[in-house]
Structure 1
Amino acid sequence: MITALFSSALFGSPEKPSKLSQIATRVFSAVVESRARSARLELRRHEAFIDDLNRRQDHSALFLDQSELLPAKI
C-alpha cells in the first residue's frame, strides 16, 4: 500500500484523483472521525466512572475508623 501511495510521487506524474478515490477518502475520513468521537465519549464515561468511584470512597475511612461498638440486638 505504501508503494502504491508513493509510486506516483516518485515518478512525478501528478494525476487528478478519480471519483472513486475521492469517495474512498471521504468514507475513510468519516470512519476515522466516528471512531475518534466514540473514543472521546468512552474516555469521558471512564473518567466519570473513576470520579464517581473516588467520591464514593472519600468517606469510607470515616465509617471504617469508628471505635464504638455497634448496637447489639437483644
Structure 2
Amino acid sequence: MNTAALPSTYAGQVRTPSRIPLIVERVLNALVESRARSAARQLRRHESLIANLSRRQDHSADFLMQSNDLPFKI
C-alpha cells in the first residue's frame, strides 16, 4: 500500500528573501560609524592644537608677545 503525502502549498518556486537590503544596511552603518570616528579624531586633534596654542601664548616668554607683530601677513 502506497500513501501519497500532499503538501499544503502548491509546488512551485520558493522565493527566498533578498539579502541585498541587509548588506546595504550593514555597509551604510559601517560607513557612518567610520565617518563618526574620523570626525571625532579630527575634533580631538583640533582641540589639542587650540589648547597647545593657547598654552604657548599665555605662558611662554619665548612665544610672541601679544603686542608684537606677527611673523607673517594675514
TM-score w.r.t. the length of structure 1 is: 0.57
Report what 1:18 is aligned to.
18
Unaligned runs of 5+ in 2: 1-16, 66-74
Question: Relative contact order (alpha carbons < 8 A, sep ≥ 6): 1 or 2 greater?
Answer: 2
Deviations 1:5-54 (A, max 9, x none): xxxxxxxxxxxx62011000000000000000000000000000000000
Q: Secondary structure at the match of 1:54?
A: helix
Superposed structure 1 runs of 4+ greater than 6 Å apart: none
Q: Secondary structure at the match of 2:35?
A: helix
Report what 2:31 is aligned to.
31
Identity %, equivalent residues: 60
| Equivalent residues, number | 49
The amino acid across from 1:45 in the alignment is R
Unaligned runs of 5+ in 1: 1-16, 65-74
The amino acid across from 1:49 in the alignment is L
Question: How far apart are 1:59 and its partner, in Å?
Answer: 2.7
TM-score w.r.t. the length of structure 2 is: 0.57
